[in-house]
Amino acid sequence: MAIFTPRANLFMNAALIGAVLLGACLLLAIRVVPVIGYNTQERFAPEQPIPFSHKHHVSGLGLDCRYCHTKVETSSSAGMPSTAICMTCHSQVWRNAAMLAPDRQSLAENIPLRWNRVYTLPDYVFFDHSIHIAKGVGCTECHGPIGDMDLTWKARTLYMSWCLSCHRDPAPHLRPRDQVTTPDWRRTPSTPSGEALMADYHVHTENLSDCGVCHR
Amino acid sequence: MKRRSAIALVGLTLALAACDNMANQARRNPYELPYGSQENWPVMPLATAVARDEPLKPPSPPPVTMALLERGRQRFDINCSPCHGRLGEGDGMIVQRGFPRPPSYNIDRLRNVPSQHFYDVITHGYGIMYSYADRVEPTDRWAVAAYIRALQASASASLADVPPDKQKALQ
pLDDT per residue as tens digits for the range B41-63:
677 778 888 877 777 888 899 99
Dist. CA A158–CA B40, nearest whole Å:
31
> Considering chain A, what is the average pLDDT of its residues?
92
Q: A12: helix, coil or strand?
A: helix
pLDDT band of residue A3 (cuts 50, 70, 90) is confident
Residue B39: pLDDT above 70? no
Torsion of CA A43, A47, A51, A55, to 10 degrees: -10
Q: So where are chain A's domains?
A: 72-78+119-214
Compare all CA atoms of chain B with the CA of A112 and give the residue at the minimum distance: B42
Q: A137: helix, coil or strand?
A: strand
Interface contact flag, B82 A89, Cβ < 8 Å: yes
Dist. CA A183–CA A140, nearest whole Å:
6
Q: Which of A91, A127, A126 is nearest to A106 (CA)?
A: A91
* B166 Cβ under 8 Å from any chain A Cβ: no
Interface contact flag, A77 B82, Cβ < 8 Å: no
Dist. CA B112–CA B122, nearest whole Å:
18
Q: So where are chain B's domains?
A: 66-158
Beta bridge partners of A174: A137
pLDDT band of residue A92 (cuts 50, 70, 90) is very high
pLDDT band of residue B16 (cuts 50, 70, 90) is low
How far A135 CA sits from the closest chain B CA (Å)?
A: 17
User: What's the CATH superfamily of B66-158?
Assistant: Cytochrome c-like domain (1.10.760.10)
**Helix A83-90 and helix A101-109, axial crossing angle in degrees, nearest 10:** 120
Residue B117: pLDDT above 70? yes
Q: Which of B144, B75, B137, B124 is nearest to A66 (CA)?
A: B75
* B52 Cβ under 8 Å from any chain A Cβ: no
Q: Which stretches does DSSP call E strand in B45-133? A: none
Interface contact flag, A70 B135, Cβ < 8 Å: yes
Q: Which of A216, A47, A72, A52 is nearest to A142 (CA)?
A: A72
Residue A37: pLDDT above 90? no
Q: B55: helix, coil or strand?
A: coil
Q: Between residues B59 and B78, which one has the greater pLDDT?
A: B78
* Complex ipTM value: 0.85
Residues in chain A: 216
Residue B75: pLDDT above 70? yes
Dist. CA B82–CA B90, nearest whole Å:
9
Interface contact flag, B42 A111, Cβ < 8 Å: yes
Residue A33: pLDDT above 80? yes
Residue B80: pLDDT above 70? yes
Dist. CA A106–CA A84, nearest whole Å:
9
Name the residue type at position B21: N
Compare all CA atoms of chain A with the CA of B98 and give the residue at the minimum distance: A93
> Considering chain B, what is the average pLDDT of its residues?
86
pLDDT tens readout for residues A176-216: 999 999 999 999 999 999 999 999 999 999 999 999 999 98
pLDDT tens readout for residues A45-91: 999 999 999 999 999 999 999 999 999 999 999 889 999 999 999 99
Interface contact flag, B42 A124, Cβ < 8 Å: no
Give the pLDDT score at A166. 95
Interface contact flag, B77 A77, Cβ < 8 Å: no
Task: Give the nearest partner residue to A82 out of B21, B79, B134, using CB atoms.
Answer: B134
pLDDT band of residue B34 (cuts 50, 70, 90) is low
pLDDT band of residue B40 (cuts 50, 70, 90) is low
Dist. CA A92–CA A100, nearest whole Å:
12
Mean pLDDT of A139-152: 94
Residue B18: pLDDT above 70? no
pLDDT band of residue A108 (cuts 50, 70, 90) is very high
Give the rounded distance of the alpha carbon of A170 from its chain centre: 17
Q: Which of A156-160, B63-67, B167-171 has the lowest mean pLDDT?
A: B167-171
- Residues of B with CB below 8 A from A86's CB? none
Q: Which of B77, B135, B144 is nearest to A68 (CA)?
A: B135
Angle, alpha carbons B25-B26-B28 (nearest 5°) = 105
* B29 Cβ under 8 Å from any chain A Cβ: yes
Interface contact flag, A67 B93, Cβ < 8 Å: no
Dist. CA A199–CA A171, nearest whole Å:
10
Most confident of A5-9, A103-107, B50-54: A103-107
